[in-house]
């Protein structure tokens, strides 16, 4: 048998126990805020039907979907010579790994609508997959932490998402900027420059402004057959500056002949009014924020930290009819997603993980040999009966080796029982950080560890 070199696919990662403990800290912190605001958990399958996912994320998003080959003789009867990849894919791949949690959520809502109470507030913390080029902060397998409200078009929901976002990152000790825009504003711009039917092309291009710069965006707009005259009318927005009110005043003037553009401005004004009255930091109005996903129809959000040079760590928006693709019309929703991987990388780079995060194991019983082993096991059972995470060294090894094991695992307390402790019906408890040792009854140890 040949030896296979151990490896994992690019863009995926293993996680050590310490990394998992830190990741669970992130998940639990986010989850606690979600639940505080009245959201309930759901889960959906790893795989969705390919037909459920394709066409929902735009041209670029569709290319990043991981497709799953059909079982059995899936290649028979497929004409590979006379078909494009998009035509062939559905014949050999009926399923795909989920690209995000929002489209599966829309499918879930339609499928379970008779069991849900609307407006329905859900959160979901699960992995997603994208066939993207791996780089720092960008992985092919990563966790999203989503929170959505569906069945309500009230802007109160957008305001609550902003509150949730500030609270989550305050708990992490991160400084953030929430950028906000509205797809209706982008539609208004397309309408005013005479390119309403090119709204998707315009959004996809200007959403790359931060990544590729103004000149490249203009080149892409030209390549998408947007006339130069129209691009020149859009160009002032690429270097749009000033405070929120200045930007809103400019937009009102620009949209004098666009009702949809004015509606977008009105929605932004309402959200900003609420955040000010609730003494929440004002999000920053960014006209070039487009978020390339096709299903957004209203407010859109993006969150960046000012502490580390990394991409967005959160984003989302309003979608008015995402459930319509599954047969349930006019079900408006809004949500935001937090990228656990990027949050982890930022917290690690800034050394912001709490110092007390470590092994959940509170104590380990040393193994002194056959006559003391059962006594230690009985003490261990009493600790576990009190929900104190603890273990016993299973081998009858040298004490130095067992102490090194406890040190390596960063277990804070070691419990020892030799002949003298058994005679006294007690144990020796050693604090591994201070070196202090005390002869204590098992009940005294339980009280100290709890």
DSSP string across 111-146: HTGGG--SSEEEEEEEEEE--PPPBTTB-SEEEEEE
Residue 367 pLDDT > 90: yes
Domain 17-46+98-349 carries which CATH code? Answer: 3.30.930.10
Dihedral of CA 270/275/277/281: which sign?
Answer: negative
Band (136; pLDDT cuts 50, 70, 90): confident
User: How many angstroms from the chain centroid is the CA of residue 361?
Assistant: 28
Dihedral of CA 46/47/48/51: which sign?
Answer: positive
| CA–CA separation, 188 and 240 (whole Å) | 16
CATH 3.40.50.800 domain position(s) in the chain: 363-449
pLDDT (mean) for 247-274 = 94
**Mutual orientation of helices 199-206 and 209-223 as an angle, nearest 10°?**
140
What rounded mean pLDDT belongs to the chain? 90
Band (98; pLDDT cuts 50, 70, 90): very high
| CA–CA separation, 436 and 421 (whole Å) | 17
Predicted pLDDT at 369: 86
**Beta-bridge partners for 135:** 138
pLDDT (mean) for 396-410 = 94
Dump pLDDT digits (tens) for 160-218.
999 999 999 999 999 999 999 999 998 998 888 877 777 777 777 777 777 787 788 88
CB under 8 Å to 327, separation ≥6 — which residues?
Answer: 110
pLDDT (mean) for 434-447 = 96
Q: Which residue has the tokens 């109160």?
A: 156
Predicted pLDDT at 141: 94
Predicted pLDDT at 15: 94
| CA–CA separation, 37 and 56 (whole Å) | 29
| CA–CA separation, 18 and 22 (whole Å) | 6
Residue 78 pLDDT > 70: no
Domain 363-449 carries which CATH code? Answer: 3.40.50.800
Q: Which residue has the tokens 């804070």?
A: 412
| CA–CA separation, 86 and 50 (whole Å) | 11
Contact 231, 238 (CB under 8 A): no
Band (357; pLDDT cuts 50, 70, 90): confident
Residue 378 pLDDT > 80: yes
Percent of the chain with pLDDT over 70: 94
CATH 3.30.930.10 domain position(s) in the chain: 17-46+98-349
Structure tokens at 348: 């690690």
| CA–CA separation, 57 and 358 (whole Å) | 39
Please state the pTM of the whole predicted model. 0.86
Residue 76 pLDDT > 70: no
Higher pLDDT, residue 3 or 270: 270
């Amino acid at each position: 048998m040949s030896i296979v070199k151990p490896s994992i696919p690019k863009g995926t990662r293993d996680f050590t126990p310490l990394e998992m403990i830190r990741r669970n800290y992130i998940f639990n912190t986010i989850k606690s805020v979600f639940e505080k605001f009245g959201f309930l958990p759901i889960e959906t399958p790893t795989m969705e039907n390919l037909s459920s996912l394709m066409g929902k994320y735009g041209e670029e998003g569709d290319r990043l979907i991981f497709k799953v080959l059909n079982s059995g003789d899936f290649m028979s009867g497929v004409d590979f010579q006379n078909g494009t990849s998009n035509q062939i894919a559905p014949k050999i791949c009926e399923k795909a790994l989920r690209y995000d949690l929002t489209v599966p959520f829309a499918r879930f809502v339609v499928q379970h609508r008779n069991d849900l109470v609307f407006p329905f507030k859900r959160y979901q913390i699960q992995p997603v997959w994208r066939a993207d080029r791996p780089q720092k902060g960008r992985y092919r397998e990563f966790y999203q932490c989503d929170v959505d409200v569906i069945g309500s078009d009230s802007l109160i929901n957008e305001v609550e998402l902003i509150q949730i976002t500030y609270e989550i990152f305050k708990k992490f000790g991160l400084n953030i900027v929430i950028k906000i825009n509205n797809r209706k504003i982008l539609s208004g711009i397309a309408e005013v420059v005479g390119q309403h039917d090119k709204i998707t092309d315009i959004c996809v291009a200007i959403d790359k402004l931060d990544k590729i710069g103004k000149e490249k965006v203009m080149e892409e707009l030209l390549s998408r057959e947007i006339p130069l005259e129209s691009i020149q009318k859009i160009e002032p927005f690429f270097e749009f500056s000033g405070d929120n009110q200045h930007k809103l005043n400019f937009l009102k003037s620009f949209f004098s002949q666009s009702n949809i553009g004015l509606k977008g401005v009105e929605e932004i004004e309402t959200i900003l009014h609420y955040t000010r009255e609730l003494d929440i930091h004002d999000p920053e109005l960014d006209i070039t924020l487009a978020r390339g996903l096709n299903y957004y129809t209203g407010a859109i959000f993006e969150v960046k930290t000012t502490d580390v040079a990394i991409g967005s760590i959160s984003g989302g928006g309003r979608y008015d009819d995402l459930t319509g693709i599954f047969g349930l019309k006019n079900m408006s929703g809004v949500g935001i997603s937090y990228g656990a991987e990027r949050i982890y990388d930022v917290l690690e780079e800034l050394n912001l993980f709490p110092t007390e995060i470590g092994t959940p194991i509170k104590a380990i019983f040393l193994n002194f040999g056959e006559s003391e082993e059962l006594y230690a096991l009985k003490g261990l059972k009493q600790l576990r009966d009190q929900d104190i995470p603890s273990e016993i060294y299973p081998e009858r090894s040298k004490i130095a080796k067992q102490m090194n094991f406890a040190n390596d695992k960063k277990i804070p307390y070691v419990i020892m029982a030799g002949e003298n402790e058994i005679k006294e019906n007690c144990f020796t408890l050693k604090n591994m950080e201070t070196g202090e040792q005390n002869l204590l009854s098992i009940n005294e140890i339980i009280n100290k560890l709890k």
